[in-house]
Amino acid sequence: MEVFFINLDRSPERRAFMMDQLEALGVSFERIAAVDGKTADLTRHAGSPLTQTEIACFLSHRDCWKRIVDLDLDYGLILEDDVRLSPRFAAVASDTAWLNPLNGLAKLDTSGRKVLLERQSKEGPAGLRFHRLRSEHTGCAGYIISRGKAREFLGRSSARLTEPVDLFVFGEQAVAEERVVAWQAVPAVVAQEKRFASVAGKPMDSVIGSRRGKRGSLATLAKREICRALRKMNRAVQRLPSRLASRRILIRVPFG
């Protein structure tokens, strides 16, 4: 399987960090130059409620999706450049035969927060189990996506970007759609540095663009916060009966 990792030209230390890990695991890879929120022309997305950082991050993932489609790959594995990889990662990346029953989308990282999963699971490599994701699971640090799903995502995100890429891919609305089946690796084989470990004594921050950059009008920000609050309320309502259902489990996905 082709492995792509997203990395800014101005972040050679992250590039070396990822290359060292992937090479040590014997995994071949391709670096995708990240869209830089500090220098890229993002005027086309001026009406988006997202920050420059979020827009740049979304566009970087779109570049990976396009690469998968252009290369006519069955699947691609996408990584951000601030992650640690489990020793099991090599088994996940080395073969695609186990993906056939899954189809489409598999999340390999974990936020460390509780998420709702189907209790029933499918077997993956190296002792991993894949459970269908039934709630929002933030983060897009590591995931597998099929060519068909990549093409679909490119089409759906070709106009206005309305939510961060992790919510677009693994948000509440995305995983609630019956036609979209997203799977969660248990344990996760990818973990963001800022959540689980540190490099040079401190967590890595996002450098694609300044998080305090231009954020749009007050009205846009207010609308965005209201939408977030409504999503949170909706999640609480939806999860209550689900937690009582024996066919689902609420867990913090471990890394290992």
Q: Where are the domains of the chain?
A: 2-252
| Range in 21-35, 54-68, 142-156, 238-252 with the lowest mean pLDDT | 238-252
The per-residue pLDDT for range 134-181, each reduced to its tens digit, is 999 999 999 999 999 999 999 999 988 999 999 999 999 888 877 678
Binned at pLDDT 50, 70 and 90, residue 46 comes out as confident
Whether the bond between 164 and the residue before it is cis, its omega within 30 degrees of 0, is no
pLDDT score for 236: 62
Who has greater pLDDT, 68 or 196?
68
pTM, whole model, 2 decimals? 0.82
- Cβ–Cβ < 8 Å for 165, 156: no
pLDDT score for 202: 42
pLDDT score for 16: 98
Mean pLDDT over residues 61-89, rounded? 97
Burial status of residue 77 (CB atoms within 10 A of its CB: 0-12, 13-18, 19 or more): buried
Class of domain 2-252: alpha beta
* Cα distance between the two ends of the chain: 21
pLDDT at 131 over 90: yes
pLDDT score for 203: 44
Who has greater pLDDT, 178 or 106?
106
DSSP 8-state class, residue 51: -
Binned at pLDDT 50, 70 and 90, residue 213 comes out as very low
User: In the chain, pLDDT over 90 holds for what percent of residues?
Assistant: 64
pLDDT at 242 over 70: no
Alpha-carbon dihedral angle through residues 229, 234, 237, 240, given to the nearest 10 degrees: -100
CA distance 35 to 251: 34
pLDDT score for 209: 61
Mean pLDDT over residues 26-48, rounded? 92
Q: How many other C-beta atoms lie within 10 A of the C-beta of residue 132?
A: 18
pLDDT score for 245: 56
Question: E-assigned strands of the chain?
Answer: 2-7, 30-33, 75-80, 83-85, 105-107, 114-123, 129-133, 142-146, 182-186, 190-192, 248-252
User: In the chain, pLDDT over 70 holds for what percent of residues?
Assistant: 81
What residues contact residue 241 under an 8 Å CB cut-off, 6+ apart?
A: none
pLDDT at 76 over 50: yes
Mean pLDDT over residues 205-233, rounded? 61
